[in-house]
Amino acid sequence: MNAEVRPIRTAAETALAVNFAAAKASLPGANGVAALREEAFRRFEAGGLPSRRIEEWKYTDLRALMREAKPLAPLPDAAARRWAAESAALLASIDARRIVFVDGCFVPELSDLSDIEPGLSVRSMASALEAGDTRVLTRIGPISPTADTAMALNTAFMRDGAVIDVAAGVALARPIHLVFVAARKEASAVFTRSLATIGKGARAMLVESHEGSSEQQVNTAMELDVADEAHVDHVKITAAGALHVSTMMAAVGAHSRFNEFLFTAGGAVVRNQIFVRFAGAGTIAGIRGASLLNGNQHADTTLLVDHAAEGCTSRETFKSVLDGESRGVFQGKIIVRPGAQKTDAKMATHALLLSDTAESDNKPELEIFADDVQCGHGATSGALDEDLLFYLRARGIAQPEAEALLIQAFVGEAVEGIEHAGLRDVLMEQVVKWLNART
Amino acid sequence: MHLLEVKNLHVEVEGKKILNGLELSVGKGAVHAIMGPNGSGKSTLAYVLAGKADYRVTQGEVLLDGDDILGIPPDERAAKGLFLAFQYPFEIPGVASMTFLRTAINAQRRQRGEPELSTPDFLRRVREVAGRLGIDQDMLRRAVNVGFSGGEKKRNEILQMAMLEPRLCVLDETDSGLDIDALKVVAEGVNHLRAAERSFVVITHYQRLLNYIVPDVVHVLSKGRIVKTGGKELALELEATGYAQYRDEAA
């Protein structure tokens, strides 16, 4: 058999082609956006949906998992907007500037665009594409280039998202919270694309939450360009989705701080991909995450950390709690480029298996092309420690509560890495909620 | 009625017989010391009382206030007033001592049908007890036993014991790994808790601890049975003669 031969198109691939042909004229864009979409779709078509034979998708066989491609979600009507306004409550306790997207469309009346501080600009991606804004168009794609299929599909179908600019030297007082609410209960597809550019020495915290109905196929992407000496935190919370494919592409300049956190507690099939490139020397990064899965949930974190400059430090710590027949996947690759001397990178993944039928797949990889680096990885997976459970129970704590305490502690060690105390509390509340639903 | 009655207790661990018809009765307010050579079954007794899995009771009964506790889980035993101070207290990364204490106290209260302890009451009591044991507040904010010295871990056990106010305290080699100063602090903590309604089973290899926690009754355990029972002078005698004669007696 010749590996070059493209297998017969699946129903989903056919539907994607039909959907693209039907929608491309109405998707937003001027000044070559249509060509960008066309080129991206051709790229997708050349490879089709990735199957387990594609190494990067080995544990998340999209060809098998995506049996159908749902029709694109229509623009949200008044009822959908109302429902979204009432339902998006995931981070209600955090004082943040909320930018709300319903079924993938920016909804200004639900968003907080008042008193935009000097040096901050927040716009809708759809309007930027519509206007053919060259400043936006030139930055779509090259920040952290990838041949990834999910990205190709995103570029082909992208409709809306946020375009955020933080000028050099500006420190945002409040986090920006991108609220993505799936309001439509009928199965549909949503493609969102955001772009954030953080200037030199600026300070910003970006939070994304994906919540609402779990009927949707979501493909969401964010490109993040961080200049030198900036300090950026990005936290993404995934709480819904029939199929949620997310890509973060970040390029980080010199002497910056970059903290990424992925929290996944919902969604039937979730794929979180992160491509981070350290483009300048002396940056310190923490890339962390926690997943809580049960039932038949499947969550895949695929990470590529590219140390392209010298003297950068990165810590990658991912924890997953797996119950029922859920499956947690972690693929993490650290590349140390020639010349990226004094790189200090440590990757650790830990899975807690709460049932005999849960599965954890771990694939850590290091590719090191420099000779003066510290690089390591560690992976563990196992059940709750029986001795610790006994210790707690000997103090009067019943089995379910003892388990809950140890699970909270396990996840808490990763959540600790988030600098924003309020956000840490919100996430730990989500952990408690998950634990309560478990028993 | 005795607070604790152990009758003809036979226990196996991984198919190996460890306790061999052990008999023990502890009255209310009494302090019993159990001494014995390594491998005589001291720690097994402690774990079986507390309800650790993997210890198979093949015969006998353990009665607390006349109720057999062998069939009930460890947390219910604790709520009934049984406390085991561990020889090697576990470290629990990610769980602050304060959270742990509060969770344990309220879990026991709930099981007993009592109202939960209010935050101010809880904090007042923690401060008082911690102060007495020389445990600073910073230690309480840290994860349970993580990075604690041997002495700090043992003091933390006594702190938990004082906070939980058990009726039967089982101390498993609480003196192991302690220098003389730490030993005194721990012993004072224990003595402070001695009361007419509270009994102690102090398990130890050495007589030294019993200089500070003076027992009413001393038992010698050998090969899974109590082979001799006497007053506190028995401990001194053992210190002088060693365990050799009891090894032979049990054989």
Separation CA B216–CA B235 (nearest Å): 11
B/e letters for A21-32, b = 16+ CB within 10 Å, e = fewer, are eebeeebbbeee
Q: In Å, what is the CA distance from A331 to each residue of A70, A281, A304, A359? A: 28, 25, 8, 14
CB–CB contact A393 B78 (8 Å): yes
Give residue B246's pLDDT.
Answer: 80
Residue with tokens 């009382």: B49
Q: Residue B52's closest chain A neighbor by CA?
A: A390
Q: Residue B101's closest chain A neighbor by CA?
A: A395
Confidence class for position B239, pLDDT limits 50, 70, 90: confident
Both A87 and A205 in one domain: the answer is yes
Q: Domain extents for chain B?
A: 4-250
Q: What is the 3-state secondary structure (H, E, C) of chain B?
A: CCCEEEEEEEEEECCEEEEEEEEEEECCCCEEEEECCCCCCHHHHHHHHHCCCCEEEEEEEEEECCEECCCCCHHHHHHCCEEEECCCCCCEEEEEHHHHHHHHHHHHHHHCCCCCCCHHHHHHHHHHHHHHCCCCHHHHHCEECCCCCHHHHHHHHHHHHHHHCCCEEEEECCCCCCCHHHHHHHHHHHHHHCECCEEEEEEECCCCHHHHCCCCEEEEEECCEEEEEECCHHHHHHHHHCCHHHHHHHC
Phi/psi at B213 (nearest 5 deg)? -110, 100
CB–CB contact B95 A409 (8 Å): yes
Give residue A7's pLDDT.
Answer: 62
Both A257 and A396 in one domain: the answer is no
Task: Answer yes or no: is pLDDT of B250 > 50.
Answer: no
Residue A415 falls within a domain, yes or no?
A: yes
Sheet hosting strand B225-230, strand order edge to edge: B82-85, B168-172, B199-204, B31-35, B217-222, B225-230
Separation CA A70–CA A153 (nearest Å): 13
Task: Answer yes or no: is pLDDT of B198 > 90.
Answer: yes
CB–CB contact B75 A406 (8 Å): no
The shortest CB-CB distance from A394 to any of B84, B103, B105 is to B84
pLDDT digits (tens, 9 = 90+) for B72-130: 999 999 999 999 999 999 999 888 999 999 999 999 999 999 999 999 999 999 999 99
CB–CB contact A397 B143 (8 Å): no
Residue A311 falls within a domain, yes or no?
A: no
Confidence class for position A5, pLDDT limits 50, 70, 90: low
Q: Does residue A206 contact residue A237 with C-beta atoms inside 8 Å?
A: no
Residue A149 falls within a domain, yes or no?
A: yes
Q: Residue A387's closest chain B neighbor by CA?
A: B90
Residue A302 falls within a domain, yes or no?
A: no
Number of domains observed in the structure of chain A: 2
Residue A435 falls within a domain, yes or no?
A: yes
Q: Does residue A366 contact residue A375 with C-beta atoms inside 8 Å?
A: yes
Domain boundary among A226, A260, A280: A280
Give residue B6's pLDDT.
Answer: 97
The shortest CB-CB distance from B74 to any of A390, A406, A412 is to A390
Q: Is residue A438 within a helix (H) or strand (E), and if so which, with residue range?
A: helix A421-438
Residue A34 falls within a domain, yes or no?
A: yes
Q: Residue A176 sits in which domain range? A: 11-280
Residues on chain B touching A410 (C-beta within 8 angstroms): 94
pLDDT digits (tens, 9 = 90+) for A269-315: 999 999 999 999 999 999 999 999 999 999 999 999 999 999 999 99
Which residues of A make CB contacts under 8 Å with B?
A: 386-388, 390-399, 401-402, 405-406, 408-410, 412-413
3-class SS shares of chain A: helix, strand, coil, % to 5: 25, 35, 40
Give residue B134's pLDDT.
Answer: 85
CB–CB contact A399 B73 (8 Å): yes
Which residues of B make CB contacts under 8 Å with A?
A: 50-53, 73-75, 77-79, 83-84, 86, 89-90, 92-95, 99-100, 103-105, 107-108, 111, 143, 160, 164
Residues on chain B touching A393 (C-beta within 8 angstroms): 51, 73-75, 78
Domain B4-250 classified CATH 3.40.50.300? Answer: yes
Confidence class for position A337, pLDDT limits 50, 70, 90: very high
Enter the tokens of residue B128. Answer: 């008082």
Give residue B251's pLDDT.
Answer: 42
Domain boundary among A280, A307, A335: A280
Percent of chain B with pLDDT over 70: 98
Separation CA A176–CA A158 (nearest Å): 21
Task: Answer yes or no: is pLDDT of A3 > 90.
Answer: no
CB–CB contact A396 B111 (8 Å): yes
Minimum distance, in Å, between the CA of residue B92 and any CA atom of chain A: 7
